[in-house]
Structure 1
Amino acid sequence: MSADEADALEAFERLGLTSYEAKVFIGLHRIGSGTARDVARVVDVPRSQVYGVAESLGERGLLEVQQSNPIRYRPVSVDEAREILRDRFEAEQERAFEYVEDVVEEPTVEEELEDIWTVRGSGRVEDRIVDLVANAEDRVVFVVRLPELLTEEIGAALEERAASGVDAFAVSSTVPVRDRLEQLADVAVFSPPTHRRDDERSGRIVIADDDAILLSVVDDDGSETAIWSAGSLFASVLIQLIEAGEETPFGSA
């Protein structure tokens, strides 16, 4: 068996045919038409199995049966077979995703109770931060240490919230970062408490209102991982723990 034929067989299997069905279908196209004996001579399928496989292919509409003695088989054209398999694939795809859509529209109790989410990769963490900032209604606090983690998108989101009347605060222990933060319109900028300035692992922190929070850490290889929660008891309690004992002008009332 050539590499091309092996690839074709695997492709047919991914389209829903069994290995024997794919072999018989290809074999029939090779000889044009024939009996079970003829097919067994050109493909690696036992003659006794050809009958059942041919019947299955017939039910799929991929071959025609001549009621002679012995029975002869003829495959449909390549274009017709392609159309049949395409329609079948699309129908199965539609059936599968209709079910997924139903699941999304009717979440289970376990999904509704999920409080804490994990996000990996700086790009995805940034997307979540922008989303949390954009949805803040009363106040938003953004804490960042590394210059590369203060992006234009986050800065724009902070400015937009500040312009809409939300109390926007930014905190950094790094002077260049504070300088950039101070360029954001209507965003109040602060240094962290002294005992927090030696931190070398934190990435970004976001507190939105009193019930949404994101915390990220940066690994030695520069990768960023965050946990976040919104509208949950976990988020509210964690915010209170972070702000407890801190004399910050942006603490919750």
Structure 2
Amino acid sequence: MASKSELINKVKNQFNLNIYETKVWLALLSKGMASAGEIAEASGVPRSRTYDVLESLEKNGFAVQKIGKPIKYLAVRPDLVVEKLKRGVAEQMNERIEKFTNIKDTPEYKELESMNSSQKEIIKKQDISGTIRGRINVNSQISDVLSLADKEAIICLTSTEFKKRIRLLEPIIKKLASSKINLIVALSGADSEIKAISEKLGISVKKVNISASFYIADRTEILFMLNESEDSSEQLAVWFSSPFFVQSFSMLFDMAVKSKK
């Protein structure tokens, strides 16, 4: 069981509250119903601040003011708070998605497209590379690289890392597998894990002795993982759009696959 200070810190971070809000909500949960004075005494929050904190908790769905005199407050059950927060996040996400969907119809967006198009031919004539930092950006780049594949897509990583990215990779792989694109999925790891992944995806997965993680599209673009840090902000990858380099790298991959046959 966590100590009181540990519980306060964990609840504060998980529910995105400040320290006073956390202490007041926990005090209210432990009492069930209490006046502002009782809450201040139980939580250790100055009474002069308790009223503002309770108002904030009310506004955000963590507490309810009881009708009648004297004024008392009720804690909203944790499970109801979680569901309310989930709905709030979903609504915010839908609003943002709608905003970004509609942005394509704006004059500003069309101007951005025009600016980008004017540089496409210049960029096409040279090899380019870049560093991708953070799990969200890495996942986005994985999707982007694989979505560019017209003829062939190669996915190679360890079975352990595949399971960590399965929510991202499963729909991409199923979409590629249902197309005319030549899809190669190669994993290193225990035979039982690779077999389970193969059965889940409904495709043939090759076993290789390669501990690296990379994603290749049409042997012209590659995203190569430099680390698979548990800290999502520390994940790092390099992206190359270089036909000569990627084709040479792909030949080494072909040799590694053939050596396992």
Please identify the structure whose Cα radius of gyration is greater: 1
TM-score, normalised by the number of residues in structure 2: 0.46
TM-score, normalised by the number of residues in structure 1: 0.47
